Amino acid sequence: MRARTNIILLAIVVLLVVAPVALRGRVTGSSQGRFIGSDTRAQEAVGEIAPSYAPWFRLPIAPPSPPAESALFALQAALGAGFLGYYLWARRGSKRSAGVPDDD
């Protein structure tokens, strides 16, 4: 029961991610090759509302390039996923050894 529900839920996630990529241009009219972050769009909106506003602070350190930034995002996801994987693996193992059946 749980396994089936989870598969359906994960399929929905995949669909939600794939659909925009598959439909791009047809629905949104966005001709660019990539999806612009909503935070960037918010920056543009600030520029329209308050054209004279200039960001007053900038960190001196920044990812050297867009690929480096993507790699750091991937690192963040990997750190979290690593811990989640460890949890799932360790708990499953300990349940098995304790003779407790999984409920899926």
Partner 1 sequence: MHIMEGFLPAAHAVGWTAASTPFVVVGLKSIAKKVKDEPESKMLLGVSGAFMFVLSALKLPSVTGSSSHPTGTGLGSIIFGPLAMAPVALVVLLFQALLLAHGGITTLGANVFSMGVVGPAVAYFTWRALRKVGAPLGVAVFSAAFIGDLVTYLVTSMQLAFAFPDPVSGFLGSAVKFIGVFAFTQIPIALAEGALTTVIFSYVRSYNRDELVRMGVLRAREVAA
Through-space distance between the first and last CA atoms of the chain, rounded to whole angstroms: 6
Candidates 98, 37, 94; CA nearest to 69 is 37
Residue number with CB closer to partner 1 (27 or 99): 27
* Interface pick for partner 1 out of 33, 37, 67, 99 (rule CB under 8 A): 37
> Interface residues for partner 1 in 45-104 (CB under 8 A)?
45-46, 48-50, 53, 55-59, 61-63, 69, 72-74, 76-77, 79-84, 87-88, 91-92, 95, 102-104
Q: Shortest approach of partner 1 to residue 31 CB, angstroms? A: 9
DSSP 51-104: TT-------S---SSHHHHHHHHHHHHHHHHHHHHHHHHHHHHHHHHTTPPP--
The residues that touch partner 1, with contacts defined as CB under 8 A, are 2, 5-6, 9-10, 12-13, 16-17, 19-21, 23-24, 27-30, 35-39, 41-43, 45-46, 48-50, 53, 55-59, 61-63, 69, 72-74, 76-77, 79-84, 87-88, 91-92, 95, 102-104
